[in-house]
Amino acid sequence: MNVRRLIPTTAVAGAVVLGLTALSACSTSDAADGGNGDKLKVTASFYPMQFLAEKIGGEHVAVTSLTKPGVEPHDLELTPRQIGSISESDYVLYLKGIQPAVDDAILQSGVKNTVDAATLTTLENHGSEVSGHDHDHGHEGEEEHGHEGEEAHEEHSEGDGHNHGEEGGADPHIWLDPVKYAEVAKGVGKSLEKADPDHAADYKKNTDALVAELGELNTAYETGLKTPSTRTFITTHSAFGYLAERYGLTQQGIAGIDPEAEPSPARIQEIHTIAEKEKATTVFFETLASDKTAKTLAKDTGLKTGVLDPLEGITEKSQGADYIEVMESNLAALQKALGAK
């Protein structure tokens, strides 16, 4: 059941007891809006988009996420009701290339205010290894990324399904770089101002506050990762390419950008060698995917394991209640693993 995040499940259960089950799927969806009144109905594809919509939209929006907490976003399959709810939305925020099923449904929904976050910044290609030693390269003039990002995205998005890590595919994990995420936030704010001009001033105020918060997060990362003992970290899910590039680190992914991909024996042997050479201490795994590969590799190499959360969803296992808190936990985990003071 596609229950809006803002409505407690107990309230929905009560509504069902009152006999709302007899209503059609469409009217049940409307009933679930409850006291939303004139609020803008926003559909977000998964958590990083939901967080932006809720923070920027504030009291003027009712946000539904298509991806329930604990569901791996890459694996999402939509129900007919969810597809229907997209069509009924006033505004849809998604990130093309992460969830093929969502991309297709949104394309067919006919919703006027549809925003692809990938067009609001510049996407780049990241393989299993992402080095950020020349991380200042390519970031000049980032304020002017609007159309450039759109073109870059168009160029790389065709046929982009689960194979994000393959050559020629753009890495969609832009939200793990606070600077890029702030660029996306600015674009989302402007699009909400256009979609709902009556509350434009509030959207702008909320956007400015979030951008400032993300600026503080970026400063914390810059300061916290300035003098590490090693710049290499190993992860099961190659989601941290933008983060590595931003802060001068090197991500070594056991598999590719798809968290479910099995690494080859050759790649595992390569990781052994890299860990020894670069004095890496930790193999990171994530909260929404299996830790089996990480634990096996750590056992074979004598490395520690730790959690580095790609923030594709918030659950009870998350090291924080929202994006900012989990990113702070990620920073602490990286500092510990990299020997940063």
Highest mean pLDDT: which of 14-23, 118-127, 181-190? Answer: 181-190
Q: How far apart are CA 30 and CA 336, in angstroms?
A: 48
Q: Are strands 129-131 and 250-253 parallel, antiparallel or unpaired?
A: antiparallel
Instruction: Give the position of tokens 């890299």.
Output: 274
pLDDT for 289-300, tens place per residue?
777 878 888 887
For the segment 215-224, the average pLDDT, to the nearest whole number, is: 98
With CA atoms as reference, report the closest residue to 102 among 112, 90, 92.
92
Decide: 157 and 118 in contact? Cβ < 8 Å: yes
Q: Pick from 285, 310, 287, 309: which is nearest to 299 by CA?
A: 285
Q: What is the largest CA-CA distance in the chain?
A: 66
Integer Rg of the chain from CA: 20
pLDDT(267) > 70: yes
Q: What is the DSSP letter of 319?
A: S
3 pLDDT band, cuts 50/70/90, is very low
DSSP states along 158-184: TT-SS-TTSTTPPB--GGGSHHHHHHH
| 76-90, 156-170, 274-288: the lowest-pLDDT one | 156-170
Q: Chain-wide mean pLDDT for the chain?
A: 80
Using the CB atoms, write b or e for 149-160: b if 16+ within 10 Å. bbebbeebbeeb
